[in-house]
Structure formats: C-alpha cells, structure tokens
Structure 1
Amino acid sequence: MSTLQINHLTKSFEPHTIIQDLNLVVNEGEFVSLLGPSGSGKSTIFHLIGGLYEPDQGTILLNGENIIGKKGAISYMPQSPSLFPWRTILENVVLAAELFERPDKRKAKKMLKRAGLHDYIDAYPHQLSGGMQQRVAFVRSLLSPQSFICLDEPFSALDEFTRVDMQKWLLSIWEEERPSVLFVTHNIEEAIFLSDRILVLGERPAKVTEEVHIPFERPRTARLLLSPELLEIKKRIYRILRGS
C-alpha cells in the first residue's frame, strides 16, 4: 500500500495557470475522489502524478519519495480501456507486470474469474462489451506492481445501469485488495458512493476548496444511492460546486 502527498503544486501552460498551490493527501488503503467541473485541471493533476508533466513548483511524494517526472511509479487507468486488440484478455491484464517482472498468470486468471471474465481469458477485446473491457482494464491496474492507482473517469462512457454495476463491482474488488486510490470524476453520486473522502476542486486554476468526509460504512450496496443521507451530502457538494 502507498501514501501520496502533494504539497503546494502549481502548473501553468502559458498563458494559463491550470493548478495553483494544490495540496492533498491520499492515505494508505484510502479511496479518495477528486470532484470538479470540466476543465478544472483534474486530468492535469494525474499527468503530474504519473510523471508525464513536471510542475512549476511544489512536491509530489509517494511513500516519502519524490516522484516528479518519474514514470511508472503509479498504476493508471484512463477513461478508455486502452486494451491492445492483438492481445488476448489474459495477455492484456499481465502487460503492466511484464514491463517490470515476470507476470503471475495464475493470479491473473484468478482475478479475471473474480471479475466474471473466466470464460473470456483467451478472447480478444473486440469480443467484449464496454463494461467488460473496463473490468479488464481495472484488473490490469490491480495486477500492476505499483500499489497506488489513479482512476481517470473510467465509467464516464457507460450507460447509467452499467455504470452502477461497475461501481458495485469495483468496490467489491477494491475492498479485498485495498490499494490506495485517487479517483477523478465529475459525477457527485459516484464520488459519494465510492469514496472515503471527496476533494472538491474549484474553477481553474485548480485547488482544493473543500474536503468532504463520507460517513457511510463499508461494504456499500446500491440501496445507498437512493438514501436520504446520500441525497443530503449530494446537495451539500452541489452547493459547494455552485459556489453558494
């Protein structure tokens, strides 16, 4: 497991400042969501954590180690599954592990079985639905040797029912493994349902304007999505985002 700490992070793409004096912490085994309006810099934050960009100032520490500009320090799941069409499902999920060490295909098969994909181990991505492809991508991120995972709106392209099913599935797998997760979304309900804490970003330049602790016990069920308690938190976050 891993702890991520970001201190006084600033990033500009001339002439615009995208992120300014950003501070956040994701503790060991914690599921934290970044919630903000479109264009608020959420994906840029991920690119900085992943080493694709370097900040103008500030620090990014993973387990106390500076990872600025360091690629491969974290596991990353983008909005699209990004599966290689010429590799089987099993070959796709062990890809990240192949880059660092000899992959454990026995563990990979076990994870795919838990994901309901045992019958598709030798299939190719085009033979799977969008939701199934997202499951493959998440299994791949869990099998990566890195213990910190960044999830960048992985369910945004799915229909509402498939999205809820994927949220429930993600939680069931995450609660067994408990990796540290930073999750980007613009969906308030999704953030509440999945998270231990929600960090609300303001308009660009991005900084955390409020931190919302989610009081619901785990494991969580879909019934929570219709509860008055969740609705109250949703209203509160909506008002924060609207600035009222």
Structure 2
Amino acid sequence: MANLSLQSISMSFEGKKILEDIQFVVKDAEFVTILGPSGSGKSTLFHLIGGLYKPEQGHIFLNGEEITGKRGSISYMPQSPSLFPWRTIVENVLLGAEIVGQADKGTALQMIEKAGLLGYEHAYPHQLSGGMKQRAAFIRSLMSPQPLICLDEPFSALDEFTRVEMQKWLMNIWVEHKRSILFVTHNIEEALFLSDRIIVLSNRPATVQKEFHIPFKRPREESLLLTEEFLAWKKEIYNELRVIV
C-alpha cells in the first residue's frame, strides 16, 4: 500500500526558485506521470520525495507518515539502469532487498524469467542490451520493499521500437504487481499510454499547471496509439505544454 501526498512544496537553488507550492497525491496502486518542459524541476521533485533534498517549505507524506528529508522511503530508478558491473543480473536485482535483509532469490529468478531474461541471470550488465538492462533495473525496484517506485525517464535512451516494447512490458508487470508508480517523461505518447493521471508542470518556478485523468481501459494494446481518441488526447496535452513553453 502506498499513498503519497505532497503539500505546498517549494524549493530554490542558488537563490532561484525551482518549485513553488507543488501539491498533488499518488493513490495506492496508481500510475501517475509528471510532464513538463525541460528544467521545470521534475527530477528535483524526485530528489525531494527520496529525501536527498529537504524543501524550503512544505511537507511530504507516505501512508500518513511524514518522510520530508527522510531517505530510504521510496524505490528510485534513474534514466540509466545503474547496475553494478561487478554483480550478476540476479545479484543486481536482489540489491535493494538485500540491503534491508529481505533477499528472496527464488522470487527474483521467477521475475527475471517473466522479464524475458531467462538464461541471463548469471550474466553481467555489459552482456545485456539497453532494454534488457532496463528490465533488470525495474525488477530491482519491484524487489525492493518500499511501496512507491519513482521512475525518472527510464526509457529515454532507447530506440523507438525498443521503447514501445518496454512500455508494454512495464504495463504488464505493473498490472500484475500493482505498485504505486510516479513516472517522469518528456514523451506525451508514453505518458498517455502508461498513466492513470498526468500532472503537467509549468515553467520555473514550477507549479501544477493542469491534471489530466486518462480514460483508456486496461489492459492497453499498442493499437491504441493510432486511434482517433488517443490522438485527440495527445493534441490536447501538447497544446497545454505549448502554452507553457
């Protein structure tokens, strides 16, 4: 169970206001995406939620407990897979759970198989493709005990076809495990395809400009990307972002 609440979050760096009065929630088992122009503070938000920074103003709660400035409350997956090159794939997958003494190799091997990585569990990161590394990194996030996963543009470095395949894989895994996910991307199609809600941030100092509730039923197929309804939603969100920039 994971219910995240950001209340009146403001943050500055070197005298420049980055975030101002940010407020939103992520409900249990919900997939929420943050969209915004470059430099709007999306990654800064993740650092605040993860406790790497402490906001100048405001509070962050997870399941009713204040986690403002507190580390270790969330699972975080950055743009790069960040796998340790000296650890095998199964060892990398188990890392987060291992740190808190909850390593379960049997479950890890089952998830590696479901991720299409069977036969690579004892391989090293340099032996895997970019998409395979991302799958391993996401399994590591799922294996970690924290109830909320923050994904910071995890597919941005992948080619278009690999990216779509990874999006479909992520959705299938998420539907099965129903963890709360907060996702950052610059890609409108990706946000629409994956999300229950999309939060659009303004330029700096970033505020919540608009929130979209996405109506597409799950499971979602790749064919959805070419429907008139999907393209209409993409146009509406594009126009919202265009006003901002």
Band the TM-score falls in, shorter-chain normalisation: over 0.9
Show the counterpart of 2:59: 59
CA distance in 2, matches of 1:157, 1:66: 34
Distance 2:65 2:207 in 1: 23
Which residue matches 1:33? 33
Q: Tell me what 1:93 maps to.
A: 93
Unaligned ranges ≥5, structure 1: none
Q: Distance in 2 between matches of 1:209 and 1:69?
A: 25
Q: 1:203 — aligned with what? A: 203
Q: Deviations over 1:129-173 (max 9, x none)?
A: 000000000000000000100000000000000000000000000
Give the distance between the partners of 1:119 and 1:90, measured in 2 at CA. 11
Q: Deviations over 1:222-244 (max 9, x none)?
A: 01111111100111001111118
SS at match of 2:165: helix
Q: 1:117 matched to which residue of 2?
A: 117
Distance in 2, matches of 1:227 and 1:157, equals 26
Which residue is 1:163 aligned to? 163
Structure-1 separation of matches of 2:86 and 2:219: 37
Give the Å deviation of 1:15. Answer: 1.9
| Structure 2 residue matching 1:18: 3-state secondary structure | strand
- d(CA) in 2 for partners of 1:212, 1:77: 24
Distance, in Å, in 1 between the alignment partners of 2:227 and 2:164 is 15
Q: Which residue of 2 aligns with 1:69?
A: 69
The aligned residue for residue 9 of structure 1 is 9
For the residue of structure 1 that corresponds to 2:183, the secondary structure is strand
RMSD of aligned alpha carbons: 0.7
Amino acid at match of 1:156: S
Cα distance, 1:126 vs. partner? 0.3
For residues 49-106 of structure 1, the C-alpha deviation after alignment (integer angstroms, 9 at most, x for no partner) is 0000000000100001110111110000000000000000000000000110130000
Q: Residues of 2 paired with 1:143 and 1:71: CA distance? A: 18
* SS of residue paired to 1:137: helix
Query: Does residue 126 in structure 1 map to residue 126 in structure 2?
Result: yes
Q: Report the number of matched residues.
A: 244
The one-letter amino acid paired with 2:197 is R
Identity rate of aligned residues, in percent? 65
Distance 2:204 2:153 in 1: 19
Aligned structure 1 segments of 4 or more residues deviating by more than 6 angstroms: none
Q: TM-score normalized by structure 2?
A: 0.98
User: Equivalents in 1 of 2:101, 2:179: separation in Å?
Assistant: 19
In the TM superposition, what is the alpha-carbon distance from 1:190 to its structure 2 partner? 0.2
Q: Counterpart of 1:118 in 2: which secondary structure?
A: coil
Q: Distance between the aligned counterparts of 2:213 and 2:69, measured in 1? A: 31
Kindly provide the amino acid, as one letter, of the partner of residue 219 in structure 1: P
Q: TM-score, normalised by structure 1?
A: 0.99
Map 1:43-54 → 2, pairs under 5 A? 43-54=43-54
Q: Which amino acid aligns with 1:182?
A: L
The answer to whether 1:104 aligns with 2:104 is yes
